[in-house]
Structure 1
Amino acid sequence: MSEEYEVHGPHDHAVEHAGHHDEDPFASRMAVMTAILATIGALCAYQSGNSENLALYYKNEAAIKKTEASNQWNYYQAKGEKENLAELGAALSLGNADAHAKFVADVDKYKQQKEPIRAKAEAIEKEVVDNDAKSEALLHGHHRWAQATTLIQVAIALCAITLLTRKNWLRNLSFGIAAAGVITAVVAFFSA
Structure 2
Amino acid sequence: MSSGGFHVHGPHDHELEHAAQHEPKGLAGHLAVITAILATVGAFFSYMGGATQANAALYKNDAAIKKTEASNQWNYFQAKSSKQNLAELALDLSPSDEQKGKYKDKIARYEGEKNEIKAKAEALEAESRHYDEQSAEQMHLHHRWAQATTALQVSIALAAITLLTKRRWMEVATLAVGGVGVLLGGAAWLHY
Instruction: Tell me how far 1:64 sits from its aligned partner.
Output: 0.7
Distance (Å, rounded) in 1 between the aligned partners of 2:57 and 2:78: 31
Distance (Å, rounded) in 2 between the aligned partners of 1:53 and 1:149: 17
Instruction: Tell me how far 1:121 sits from its aligned partner.
Output: 0.7
Instruction: Tell me how far 1:130 sits from its aligned partner.
Output: 1.0
Count of aligned positions? 190
Gaps of 5+ in 1: none
How do 1:111-150 and structure 2 match up within 5 A? 111-150=111-150
Instruction: Tell me how far 1:163 sits from its aligned partner.
Output: 1.8
Gaps of 5+ in 2: none
Instruction: Tell me how far 1:145 sits from its aligned partner.
Output: 0.4
Rate the CA distance shift 1:124–1:89 in 2: closer, same or farther, 3 A.
Answer: same
Distance (Å, rounded) in 1 between the aligned partners of 2:181 and 2:14: 43
1:124 partner SS: helix
The more displaced of 146-155 and 23-32 is 23-32
Q: What residue in structure 1 maps to residue 53 of structure 2?
A: 52
Instruction: Tell me how far 1:108 sits from its aligned partner.
Output: 0.9
How do 1:63-74 and structure 2 match up within 5 A? 63-74=64-75
List structure 1 runs of 4+ shifted beyond 4 angstroms. Answer: 2-22
Letter paired with 2:168: N
> Normalised by the size of structure 1, how large is the TM-score?
0.88
The more displaced of 149-158 and 10-19 is 10-19
Distance (Å, rounded) in 2 between the aligned partners of 1:44 and 1:13: 39
Identity in percent: 48
Letter paired with 1:181: G
Deviations 1:3-33 (A, max 9, x none): 8965668866666666666643322211111
Letter paired with 2:169: W
Q: What residue in structure 2 maps to residue 101 of structure 1?
A: 101
> Normalised by the size of structure 2, how large is the TM-score?
0.88
